Structure 1
Amino acid sequence: MRGLFYVLSALAVMGLAFWAYQENYKTQSAIADVRDLHQEIGAAHERLRVLNAEWAYLNRPDRLADLADLNFDRLGLLPLMPEAFGSVDQVAFPQQPLLPITNAIELSSDNAGSESGL
């Protein structure tokens, strides 16, 4: 009986050791995946910073003014002046269409007092 207990204990220890071995390698694999993801995120942030810098460089006011002057004949771009803006009451909004009345119910309060006995 004691021998059987020792054999079962040894098998349980070997099974737990095998499980721990597998979990260790799964954990190391997950850590490597996280490290790769962090590197990809860092590279994406770097690309985003470069794109933001390029956007800021390309949208400099002096550069845009030079481009507008250079292409004035083709585009006819003018600087925005306060007179170019209007007020809301100058906007012609379209009329809302009138929907047809369907399933109309006629309501009247002429005889409301006489029906209830008042």
Structure 2
Amino acid sequence: MFRTTDIILIAVMVSAAAMTYKIKRDAENQMEMVQKLQAQIHTEEDTIDLLKADWSLLTQPARLQQLTELYQDQLGLVPVDPHQFSGIDTLPVKPLTIEQLVARSGRVAGNGSDTDAIVTGSIGQ
């Protein structure tokens, strides 16, 4: 009748068929998830394109000009006067002294030495 090797081979074939079915089912589930994600990505890209179009429509200079004219009294907006801006020549000059420059650089003023007070580990020391 059946020998032991026949029974073992039948068991191996059945388990291989079951394993193949399981792997195929898992692959189909993964493919379904990938398709859902691709559909979501496509939907999000369409939404982003729509929002960009809305943004460009809302920020058109002509539209903003109309809104500023409409709500000028409520917002207290006034046109910019060109004389509000000042040039570099109208800014006051703050003179720096040598003592201030020396104090900023970390040197000791008045010690008669041309070396820094801060030790940096350079070769020339």
SS at match of 1:39: helix
2:29 aligned with 1:29: yes
Between the aligned partners of 1:24 and 1:38, the Cα distance in structure 2 is 21
Tell me by how many angstroms 1:34 deviates: 0.5
RMSD: 2.6
Name the structure 2 match of 1:72: 72
TM-score relative to the length of structure 2? 0.61
State the percentage of identical aligned residues. 24
Letter in 1 for 2:59: N
Change (3 A) 1:38 1:17: same
Between the aligned partners of 2:16 and 2:81, the Cα distance in structure 1 is 79
Structure 2, unpaired ranges of 5+: 93-125
Q: How many residues align?
A: 88
SS at match of 1:77: coil
Tell me by how many angstroms 1:85 deviates: 7.9
Between the aligned partners of 1:56 and 1:85, the Cα distance in structure 2 is 33
Name the structure 2 match of 1:9: 9
Tell me by how many angstroms 1:76 deviates: 1.9
- Superposed, 1:30-109 pairs within 5 Å as 30-79=30-79, 83-84=84-85
Between the aligned partners of 1:52 and 1:22, the Cα distance in structure 2 is 45
Change (3 A) 1:12 1:76: same
Structure 1, unpaired ranges of 5+: 91-118
